[in-house]
Amino acid sequence: GTPESVDGGVVGFFSLEMSAEQLATRIISEQAEISSSKIRRGEITETDFEKLSYCAQEMSRIPLFIDETGGISIAQLAARARRLKRQRGLDVLIIDYIQLMQGSKTASSGNRVQEVTEITTGLKALAKELGVPIIALSQLSRQVESRDDKRPQLSDLRESGSIEQDADVVLFVYREEYYLKNKEPKEGTEEWFKWDQEMREAIGKAEVIIAKQRHGPTGTAKLGFQAQFTRFSDLAEDEYLPERHE
């Protein structure tokens, strides 16, 4: 299809971790509301197949361009993004994820922090040059796991303070349910009833922590999360309106 087929912008997605096929499966699973594990195992009904076919057709009309080159350098990524903008237009660039990118040979002489700094500086310059937002995913350091409160903080960004420094906005996703489900006490005990109550409150919910925002407030927004479809959604209840910290 053409970029004019549907509303919305042209998206460039550099997927360094997942293949284009895996990414497409995940998107179609979310759209069709059929779990990706069922799709992978081929456990689908005729109705499921019809929904998947429809979503696949719709997806082919969407101006989403996926580049699955592993270990791409910042120079290669910039060249491909410029070409995409020139040939198809470009409204947003997504990179999954920073730590799988390479710097130049000069920066990568054994100093990973220096290399990541070169990558984030390059991404900031590219966003300015192309006039588009760049959403870059990052790994977190393992120190998160050693704390009681597992909510990520800016100091947890892995391998470089330059990510925090160069980003206009830093968002973290946190799900209490993810940690609680691995801590189930013996059923029927007092601890279990307390755990069960906490689990009921946490299930299907996620927090988006706005840890940095150059031109606005920080705080936390609560969202709905459907794990089987990897789908985030708005929560309508008043109690889940974003908390603001000026």
Taking residue 24's Cβ as centre, other Cβ atoms within 10 Å add up to 17
Query: What is the C-alpha to C-alpha distance for residues 158 and 25, in angstroms, rounded to an integer?
Result: 28
Helix (H, G, I), strand (E, B) or coil at 67: strand
Max alpha carbon distance in the chain (Å)? 64
Give the pLDDT confidence score for residue 209 in this predicted structure: 96
Task: Please answer whether residues 38 and 31 qualify as being in contact, where contact means their C-beta atoms are separated by less than 8 angstroms.
Answer: no
Range of lowest pLDDT (107-116, 211-220, 226-235): 107-116
Is the pLDDT confidence value at 13 over 90?
yes
Give the pLDDT confidence score for residue 4 in this predicted structure: 43
What average pLDDT score do residues 209-238 get?
88
Q: How many CA atoms lie within 13 A of 175 on its CB side?
A: 17
Residue ranges of domains in the chain: 1-167, 168-246
pLDDT cut 70: percent of the chain above it: 89
Give the pLDDT confidence score for residue 144 in this predicted structure: 85
The DSSP bridge pattern shows strands 134-136 and 169-174 to be unpaired
Query: What is the C-alpha to C-alpha distance for residues 121 and 110, in angstroms, rounded to an integer?
Result: 19
Q: What is the mean pLDDT of the chain?
A: 88
Query: What is the C-alpha to C-alpha distance for residues 53 and 40, in angstroms, rounded to an integer?
Result: 15
Give the pLDDT confidence score for residue 2 in this predicted structure: 38
Give the pLDDT confidence score for residue 55 in this predicted structure: 92
Residues 6+ apart with CB under 8 A from 156: 140, 141, 143, 144
Confidence of residue 243 (pLDDT cuts 50, 70, 90): low
Report the CATH number of the 1-167 domain: 3.40.50.300
Confidence of residue 106 (pLDDT cuts 50, 70, 90): low
Catalytic position from the list 4, 17, 177, 243: 17
Per-residue pLDDT of 114-154, as tens digits, reads 889 999 999 999 999 999 999 999 999 888 888 888 999 99
Task: Decide if 159 is catalytic.
Answer: no
Does 240 or 102 have the greater pLDDT score? Answer: 102
Q: DSSP letter at 101? A: S
Taking residue 163's Cβ as centre, other Cβ atoms within 10 Å add up to 22
Give the pLDDT confidence score for residue 237 in this predicted structure: 58
Is the pLDDT confidence value at 1 over 60?
no
Confidence of residue 242 (pLDDT cuts 50, 70, 90): low
Is the pLDDT confidence value at 3 over 50?
no
Confidence of residue 60 (pLDDT cuts 50, 70, 90): confident
Query: What is the C-alpha to C-alpha distance for residues 234 and 240, in angstroms, rounded to an integer?
Result: 9
Query: What is the C-alpha to C-alpha distance for residues 36 and 231, in angstroms, rounded to an integer?
Result: 12
Per-residue pLDDT of 143-199, as tens digits, reads 888 888 899 999 898 776 789 999 999 999 999 999 888 888 888 898 999 999 999
Give the number of residues written for the chain: 246
Is the pLDDT confidence value at 223 over 50?
yes
Give the pLDDT confidence score for residue 245 in this predicted structure: 54
- Tell me whether the omega of the peptide bond preceding residue 97 falls within 30 degrees of 0, making it cis: yes
Query: What is the C-alpha to C-alpha distance for residues 74 and 56, in angstroms, rounded to an integer?
Result: 31
Helix (H, G, I), strand (E, B) or coil at 136: strand
